[in-house]
Amino acid sequence: MRYIYDNFRSFTFLILFLLLAGTAFAANIGGNDAEKNTGKIAGIVTTKDGKPAADVTVTIIELNKATATEANGTFIFQNVKPGTYTVRATFVGSATEAGTVIVAAGKTATVNFMLSETASQLNEVTIRSAKTLNSTKVTFDKAGIRPLDLPQSAGVVTSQVIQDQQINRLGDAVRNVSGVTLTQQRGGVGETFTARGYSIGIGGGSGSIFKNGVLTNTAGFPEAATLESVEILKGTSALMYGNVSGGVIINMVTKKPKFDFGGELSMRAGSYNFYKPVIDVYGPISKNVAFRTIGVYENDGSYRDHVKTERVYVNPSLLFNLGKSTTLLIEGDYLKSNLTPDWGVGSLNLGQAIPTMVPRNQFINTSWAYSRMNQYSGMATLNHSFSDTWKLNAIISTQSTEIDSYGSSLPNNVAANGDWNRGLQRAHTKENNYTGQLNLNGRFHTGFLGHQLLIGTDVAKVVNLSKAYTVNGTQIASYAYDKINIIDLTKFAARTDMPDALATTLTHSPVYRFGSYIQDLITITPKFKVLAGVRWSWQQTYQTTIDSLQKSKSINGTAPTKYDRAYSPKVALIYQPIPTTSVYATYSNNFIFNTGTDISGRGLDPSIVNQYEAGVKNEFLNGKLSVNASVYRIRNSNLAVTNPNNIAFRMLNGETTSDGLEIDVNGNLSRNFYFIMGYGYNFARYTNSSGLTGSPINGEQIVINPRNTANASLFYTFYDGALRGFKFGASSFYTGKRLAGYNNTVGQTQNYSRLLPVGGFATLDLSAGYSYKKFSILAQVSNVTNTFNYLIHDNYSVTPIPPTQFLTTVSYKF
């Protein structure tokens, strides 16, 4: 098998090489004639102190053509007809600069701009007047496509929002984007998010959450103190990332080293004995080497009895300038997290009712329950510019996540009167991830067609290790610990001792992934563009091996090694009637790897999920206001369901459909005032099941998917007058009615619905702060109305949302 894999990899690299060679050849052939009759406009945008200014919008007024400066401040327009043109450089919150150039055939006209701010002042402008959706490039798409050229709904939670909302968890950040919501906190040790009818959660092996473009395991909650921004791409991103959720993928962008010395000391404290000191220091080591180190300690009680959190986090990074065209960024982090696993208040009558009579703080796990995690990661990112138009990006990374937990079993068999025979659950797992990716970006012309090309490949190895346990010679899943009543904890005397659990086996579960992709954004005219691309993905899921820890022998698991492969195409039409408006329609698909076998004993093929999206993106007031809207349909017509003729097997014979609408309004109308608003509607349901035993019921809404979600935030800062330095803000979030529990099936043995309806809820947070020179204080009261509701995983982890709480952050910047 290794021989097959190595030869396949070599063959794929050969194909990529031929594609590159052919592209370069076509560019030379097609570009020669164009270059004879047209010219170029190029230049660099710098700050007042001579440093390059990235992401500045440069526009040729007469042609309605726009681009953004690169990290080194450069920009270029190719195939410009001879003539006189006005070129404008704009940056939100900064004064607009303009110049006139004369273009001659076969020549490059140069126009440079100097912004009125220094690099540090420009950074403050960026913070105070953060760019909106359509003026903020999402790095997560790998191709560096302008927001108005990207035919996909996207969202960015900026550093300003992270700071003003005092965000501590990823779930607090993503709710600022329409249609994305936190729906579950399974056992209180991780978050699950939902968008467009699909959910994503912890686990690097099969997740859809990334850090700096690399798949990451988010168990134990990722640390928010290191986040510069959070990028969100909605809909499928299978072309770029392979086997990911069809609803959303999330990228956490961390803070990077700087060549200006500075930093911040802060202390965050709040209700239930929460305190969190943070130190962030950055600066130059030499002319071409810069560093950054972030250290965090967190200690937190909870509104939930017996629940505690203690975390230590360190994030060092180094940036090397290896010449004018090459940078190397090396990052690492370490997170030690000790959490109390928490099943919330549980559910009654085999998971069909919530015990609403019990208080918000009631805890039903064992008194000694624990979950301990150690996570290490390392990452190296190389960026090289061959020219102004051809760039290479290479990333290698590794991550190890080890979790040791012990406590009660799942509370999913509680009687209607609250009686629960508690069992035990012990786990010791380790997930090791190794990834690499290579991306080549180029801009060129073939005749009158402009191209923004991406060619790339990625590879991943994920190894999961898990132990099984016995207690007093009995498999832990069958061990009876004690009996309690989750309505009246005084009814029975709960045990308080922690039985010894003996590790008996260690299971190895390795998975290999490989993918190659090519994508081209083709400019036909300044108003009409086409994006087209395809990915080929391959996955090998090895047969598990099980080591006996007591008898020193190994056996193979029952499932054989499985090979999966899938194509993921994407095509989009883009129409831009004016430079600030973009209308698009997109077809793409993603795939879902299935477990189990068909009736012939062959592994199931991947389910291919077709997605259709149409949208409009608008930019107003010179980039200060963005208004975006999109509609979509996602249909899985190859849903894996139980084979009605033999329930031991499965088949691709079901269907789900997810329809929805999303609206985002984002404004930074001045350096004083910004706001974020969003609304999402989704209806995900089973639409074409077979109707036979074991199949889902047609028309039933898929669980853990609210129909309606909404968000709104606004912040105002006074920079003049008697209130100079004061800041005020408010944020509100709404999660609509949804279904928890499990979806029903035809002919199920239960004589009751397995669904657990949950009502909708809204929360309101109020903030106020004051800044004086380098000192600042910001206070927040969250859930001002003390709204009561639940986050539910399946039917057993039923966690009440937090009550009214107070949080404040005092900081000093140097």
Tens digit of each residue's pLDDT (9 = 90 or more) over 642-681: 777 777 788 888 899 999 999 999 999 888 999 999 999 9
Q: Examine the fold and report which residue of 201, 233, 252 is the final residue of a domain before the chain moves on.
A: 252
Residue 806 pLDDT exceeds 60 = yes
Nearest to 718 by CA among 730, 726, 710: 726
Residues 394 and 434 in one domain: yes
Confidence of residue 131 (pLDDT cuts 50, 70, 90): low
Range among 243-252, 387-396, 688-697, 725-734 with highest mean pLDDT value: 725-734
Task: State residue 11's pLDDT score.
Answer: 41
Task: State residue 794's pLDDT score.
Answer: 83
Residues 115 and 137 in one domain: no
Residues 170 and 302 in one domain: no
pLDDT in tens, 360-371: 999 999 999 999
Residue 407 pLDDT exceeds 50 = yes
Confidence of residue 19 (pLDDT cuts 50, 70, 90): very low
Lowest mean pLDDT among 8-17, 268-277, 369-378: 8-17
Q: Examine the fold and report which residue of 88, 112, 128 is the final residue of a domain before the chain moves on.
A: 128
Helical ranges in 107-229 per DSSP H: 119-128, 159-164, 170-174
Looking at residues 33-59, what average pLDDT do you find? 81
Task: State residue 651's pLDDT score.
Answer: 84
The CA distance from 795 to 241, in Å, is 31
Residues 561 and 660 in one domain: yes
> Which whole-number Å values give the CA distances from 75 to 184, 322, 656, 792, in the listed order?
45, 21, 46, 50
SS3 7: helix
C-beta neighbour count of 25 within 10 angstroms: 10
pLDDT in tens, 243-282: 888 899 999 999 999 999 999 999 999 999 999 999 999 9
Looking at residues 366-386, what average pLDDT do you find? 96
Chain mean pLDDT for the chain:
89
* Residue 3 is assigned to a structural domain of this protein: no
Higher pLDDT, 278 or 198: 278
Residues 93 and 149 in one domain: no
Task: State residue 121's pLDDT score.
Answer: 63
Q: Which residue has the tokens 């085999």?
A: 350
Lowest mean pLDDT among 128-132, 146-150, 671-675, 768-772: 128-132
Looking at residues 470-486, what average pLDDT do you find? 94
* Residue 202 is assigned to a structural domain of this protein: yes
Q: Name 42's bridge partners.
A: 76, 110
Task: State residue 183's pLDDT score.
Answer: 84
The CA distance from 58 to 65, in Å, is 8
DSSP state of 8: H
C-beta neighbour count of 67 within 10 angstroms: 16
Task: State residue 510's pLDDT score.
Answer: 94
The CA distance from 758 to 739, in Å, is 6
pLDDT in tens, 736-760: 999 998 889 888 888 888 899 999 9
Question: Which pTM does this prediction carry?
Answer: 0.86
Nearest to 200 by CA among 148, 241, 141: 241
Give Cβ neighbours of residue 741 (< 8 Å, ≥ 6 apart). Answer: 351, 352, 703, 754, 755, 756, 792, 794, 795
> Which whole-number Å values give the CA distances from 386 to 25, 58, 391, 514, in the listed order?
16, 22, 6, 26
Residues 154 and 89 in one domain: no
Q: What is the 3-state secondary structure (H, E, C) of 647-677?
A: CCCEEEEEEEEEEEEEEEEEEECCCCEEEEE
The CA distance from 539 to 602, in Å, is 16
| 454 touches 519 (CB < 8 A) | yes
> Which whole-number Å values give the CA distances from 388 to 43, 325, 385, 621, 680, in the listed order?
10, 10, 7, 30, 40
CA-CA-CA-CA dihedral for 543, 547, 553, 555, to nearest 10: -20
> What is the amino acid identity at position 612?
Y
Task: State residue 36's pLDDT score.
Answer: 67
SS3 88: strand
Task: State residue 3's pLDDT score.
Answer: 39
pLDDT in tens, 440-450: 999 999 989 99
The CA distance from 467 to 31, in Å, is 60
Q: Which residue has the tokens 């992401």?
A: 55
Nearest to 631 by CA among 613, 653, 649, 609: 613
Residues 137 and 91 in one domain: no
Residues 549 and 678 in one domain: yes
Confidence of residue 122 (pLDDT cuts 50, 70, 90): low
Task: State residue 204's pLDDT score.
Answer: 52
> Which whole-number Å values give the CA distances from 454 to 82, 145, 239, 457, in the listed order?
29, 10, 11, 10
Residue 380 pLDDT exceeds 90 = yes
DSSP 387-443: SSSEEEEEEEEEEEEEEEEEEE-------TTSEEEEEEEEEEEEEEEEEEEEEEEEE
Residues 366 and 288 in one domain: yes
Nearest to 459 by CA among 444, 438, 428: 438
* Residue 23 is assigned to a structural domain of this protein: no
The CA distance from 243 to 597, in Å, is 20
Task: State residue 212's pLDDT score.
Answer: 94
Q: Which residue has the tokens 């007047």?
A: 129
* Residue 287 is assigned to a structural domain of this protein: yes
Task: State residue 211's pLDDT score.
Answer: 94
**What percent of the chain lies above the pLDDT cut of 70?**
93
CATH number at residue 371: 2.40.170.20
* Residue 575 is assigned to a structural domain of this protein: yes
Residue 15 pLDDT exceeds 50 = no
Confidence of residue 190 (pLDDT cuts 50, 70, 90): confident
C-beta neighbour count of 551 within 10 angstroms: 9
Nearest to 26 by CA among 569, 521, 453, 523: 453
pLDDT in tens, 300-326: 999 999 999 999 999 999 999 998 889
C-beta neighbour count of 490 within 10 angstroms: 8
Residues 684 and 587 in one domain: yes
Task: State residue 73's pLDDT score.
Answer: 82
* Residue 768 is assigned to a structural domain of this protein: yes
Residue 412 token pair: 């999913």
Residue 407 token pair: 């406590």
Q: Examine the fold and report which residue of 78, 105, 128 is the final residue of a domain before the chain moves on.
A: 128
Q: Containing H/E element for 142?
A: none
CATH number at residue 243: 2.170.130.10
Q: What is the 3-state secondary structure (H, E, C) of 320-378?
A: EECCCCEEEEEEEEEEEEEECCCCECCCECCCCECCCCCCCCCCCCCCCCEEEEEEEEE
Give Cβ neighbours of residue 52 (< 8 Å, ≥ 6 apart). Answer: 44, 45, 46, 69, 71, 72, 73, 74
What is the domain count for the chain?
A: 3
SS3 269: strand
Nearest to 165 by CA among 733, 760, 803, 718: 733
Confidence of residue 209 (pLDDT cuts 50, 70, 90): very high
Range among 74-83, 534-543, 744-753 with highest mean pLDDT value: 534-543
Confidence of residue 783 (pLDDT cuts 50, 70, 90): very high
Task: State residue 796's pLDDT score.
Answer: 86
Looking at residues 205-222, what average pLDDT do you find? 85
The CA distance from 649 to 631, in Å, is 36
Higher pLDDT, 556 or 765: 765
Looking at residues 689-710, what average pLDDT do you find? 87
| 674 touches 631 (CB < 8 A) | no
* Residue 26 is assigned to a structural domain of this protein: no
Residues 110 and 207 in one domain: no
Residues 316 and 222 in one domain: no
Residue 124 pLDDT exceeds 80 = no
Looking at residues 144-149, what average pLDDT do you find? 91
Domain interval for residue 44: 38-128
Residue 554 pLDDT exceeds 90 = no
Lowest mean pLDDT among 97-111, 143-157, 526-540: 97-111
Task: State residue 404's pLDDT score.
Answer: 96
* Residue 4 is assigned to a structural domain of this protein: no
Task: State residue 206's pLDDT score.
Answer: 56
Nearest to 248 by CA among 204, 208, 190: 208
SS3 170: helix
The CA distance from 785 to 763, in Å, is 7
CA-CA-CA-CA dihedral for 195, 201, 206, 208, to nearest 10: 50
C-beta neighbour count of 124 within 10 angstroms: 13
CATH number at residue 124: 2.60.40.1120
